[in-house]
């Protein structure tokens, strides 16, 4: 049975750690899909810390874009932890700055389709970037809007959506109004 679970929150909220804990509770091996690229020393350090925190028996797939292609290589019923949608959208935006929206829309649609096609437990980590200041620059506003819409599309298909604040996950579907629950 396909399941989609979303962990969202601000920077350093603990969402990745909570998503990893959730994945471990699934009781079998996990495929960790990493979208980050080590473009500088600071990002390399972040990636190293994430790797060290993960169980050694988890398989890691590097997929900065075209995540659905990677998912379609997996066995049916696999548990997948995608960390993170935030960088996936950023990677697509930077590859298609002139017109990123159709590429982001296609990536999200294909990601959801692959989850259902392969009966995956798909755990998605994403930053909540819409609660802060409006970015001063056009590219920043584009990014905020693209990520917000992408996260909404995945969350509306999700069985569970956790907002992580100060390391504490709160399940939002339990709090949602009846008209906003997954059908």
DSSP string of 108-155, one letter each residue: HHHHHHHHHHTT-EEEEEEE--TTSPPPSSHHHHHHHHHHHHHHHHHH
- CATH class, domain 3-7+17-120+127-176, is alpha beta
Q: Say if residue 71's pLDDT is above 60.
A: yes
Taking the alpha carbons of 112, 114, 118, 122 in that order, is the dihedral positive or negative?
Answer: negative
Q: Say if residue 178's pLDDT is above 80.
A: no
pLDDT in tens, 128-168: 998 888 889 999 999 999 999 999 999 999 999 999 999 99
pLDDT the model gives residue 169? 96
Q: How far apart are CA 51 and CA 33, in angstroms?
A: 11
Our measurement of the distance from residue 74's CA atom to the centroid of its chain's CA atoms, rounded to an integer in Å, reads 18
- Please identify which of the residues 50, 57, 66, 96 carries the catalytic annotation: 50
Query: What value does the mean pLDDT of the chain take?
Result: 92
Q: How far apart are CA 66 and CA 51, in angstroms?
A: 21
pLDDT the model gives residue 152? 96
pTM of this prediction?
0.93
pLDDT in tens, 12-62: 899 999 999 999 998 778 999 999 888 888 888 888 887 888 888 999 999
pLDDT in tens, 76-115: 999 999 999 999 999 999 999 999 999 999 999 999 999 9
Joined tokens for residue 96: 């298609």
Is 57 labeled as catalytic in the residue annotation? no
Q: How far apart are CA 147 and CA 41, in angstroms?
A: 25
pLDDT the model gives residue 48? 85
Q: Which sequence spans correspond to the domains of the chain?
A: 3-7+17-120+127-176
Please name the helix (run of DSSP H) or strand (run of DSSP E) that holds residue 59, with its range, or none.
strand 59-62
Q: How far apart are CA 114 and CA 176, in angstroms?
A: 26
């Amino acid at each position: 049975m396909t399941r989609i679970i979303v962990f969202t929150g601000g920077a350093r909220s603990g969402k990745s750690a909570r998503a990893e804990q959730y994945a471990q509770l699934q009781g079998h091996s996990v495929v960790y899909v990493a979208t980050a690229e080590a473009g500088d020393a600071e990002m390399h350090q972040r990636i190293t810390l994430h790797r060290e925190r993960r169980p050694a028996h988890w398989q890691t797939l590097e997929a900065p874009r075209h995540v659905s292609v990677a998912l379609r290589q997996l066995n049916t019923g696999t548990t997948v932890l995608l960390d993170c949608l935030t960088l996936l959208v950023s990677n697509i935006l930077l590859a298609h700055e002139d017109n990123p929206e159709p590429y982001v829309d296609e990536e999200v649609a294909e990601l959801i389709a692959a989850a259902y096609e392969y009966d995956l437990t798909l755990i998605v980590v994403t930053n909540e970037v819409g609660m802060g200041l409006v970015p001063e620059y056009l590219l920043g506003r584009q990014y905020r809007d693209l990520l917000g819409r992408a996260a909404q599309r995945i969350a509306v298909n999700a069985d569970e959506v956790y907002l992580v604040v100060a390391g504490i996950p709160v399940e939002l579907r339990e709090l949602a109004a009846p008209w906003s629950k997954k059908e």
